């Protein structure tokens, strides 16, 4: 069982089209606070990022923000965070977020959210860490991505076992249970030429 003391959350700096996305971010922030789990996130005060942080803080939780100086100086930094780390670059941001966290969860978001999730998932695949990764699939946001990932496995560009490394649920409590129960697969990265 993983001891989930801090969960890194990747999510949009926009609230998206559906109110369900904002509601999911708020519910997740409150749930983490209620369970005594600290949030590590990108340090923003706008979009789902701001909703997540505000809900956690309002419920008595702790929020650690990590934001590059270039974004902080544009007044996007959430000044109400329990602690706010201002770093020099996006690379430093992602490295510190990963170092501080016990698990990673992506809520709905855009290019930055996808990139952050895929990077930590890749690090897990390569054995650079053994921390769980997951998708909070609010309002079916990630349904098509999950379908495509299955296609990538069917086409033998990734092993089916690597799909199991990515927990997913539309229920935050169920997702946290999956993350806590995570066991990293012991599997080679590449397919051999003679394997079918």
What is the reported pLDDT for 28? 98
Range of the domain at 57: 6-122+132-179
Alpha carbons 84 and 74: distance in angstroms, whole number: 15
Quick: pLDDT tens for 75-122: 699 999 999 999 999 999 999 999 999 999 999 999 999 999 999 999
Contact predicate 134/175, CB 8 Å = yes
Q: Is the pLDDT of residue 196 over 50?
A: no
Q: Is the pLDDT of residue 190 over 60?
A: no
What tokens were used for 144?
């098509």
Q: Chain-wide mean pLDDT for the chain?
A: 94
Domain membership flag for residue 31: yes
The 3-state secondary structure of the chain, one letter per residue: CCCCCEEEEECCCCCCCCHHHHHHHHHHHHHHHHCCCEEEECCECCHHHHHHHHHHHHCCCCEEEEEEHHHHHHHHECCCCCEEEEECCHHHHHHHHHHHCCEEEECCCCHHHHHHHHHHHHHHHCCCCCCCEEEECHHHCCHHHHHHHHHHHHCCCCCHHHHCCEEEECCHHHHHHHHHCCCCCCCCCCCCCCCC
Q: Is the pLDDT of residue 192 over 60?
A: no
What is the reported pLDDT for 180? 97
Domain membership flag for residue 188: no
Alpha carbons 86 and 196: distance in angstroms, whole number: 48
Which CATH number belongs to the domain containing residue 27 in this structure? 3.40.50.450
What is the reported pLDDT for 185? 86
State if pTM tops 0.85.
Answer: yes
In the chain, what is the greatest distance between 2 CA atoms, to the nearest angstrom? 56
Domain membership flag for residue 159: yes
Please report, for residues 24, 101, 143, 166, 188, the alpha-carbon distance to residue 42 in angstroms, rounded to integers and kept in the order given: 17, 12, 24, 21, 32
Domain membership flag for residue 37: yes
Please report where in the chains the tokens 């649920």 appear, as a residue. Answer: 169
Domain membership flag for residue 162: yes
Other beta carbons within 10 Å of 64: 21
Domain membership flag for residue 36: yes
Quick: pLDDT tens for 3-18: 999 999 999 999 999 9
| pLDDT tier for residue 1 given thresholds of 50, 70 and 90 | confident
Domain membership flag for residue 160: yes
Q: How many domains does the structure of the chain reveal?
A: 1
Quick: pLDDT tens for 7-66: 999 999 999 999 999 999 999 999 999 999 999 999 999 999 999 999 999 999 999 999
């Amino acid at each position: 069982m993983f001891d989930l003391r801090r969960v890194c959350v990747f999510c949009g700096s926009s609230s998206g089209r559906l109110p369900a996305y904002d509601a999911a971010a708020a519910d997740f922030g409150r749930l983490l606070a209620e369970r005594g789990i600290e949030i590590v996130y990108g340090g923003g005060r706008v979009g789902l990022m701001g909703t997540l942080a505000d809900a956690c803080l309002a419920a008595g939780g702790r929020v650690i923000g990590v934001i590059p100086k270039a974004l902080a100086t544009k007044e996007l930094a959430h000044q109400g965070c329990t602690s706010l780390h201002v770093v020099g670059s996006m690379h430093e941001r992602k490295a510190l977020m990963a170092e501080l966290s016990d698990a990673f969860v992506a809520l709905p978001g855009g290019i930055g959210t996808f990139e952050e999730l895929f990077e930590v998932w890749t690090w897990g695949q390569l054995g650079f860490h053994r921390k769980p990764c997951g998708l909070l699939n609010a309002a079916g946001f990630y349904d098509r991505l999950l379908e495509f990932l299955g296609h990538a496995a069917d086409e033998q560009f990734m092993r089916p076992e690597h799909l199991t490394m990515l927990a997913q649920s539309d229920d935050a409590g169920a997702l946290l249970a999956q993350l806590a129960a995570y066991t990293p697969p012991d599997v080679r990265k590449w397919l051999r030429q003679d394997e079918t």
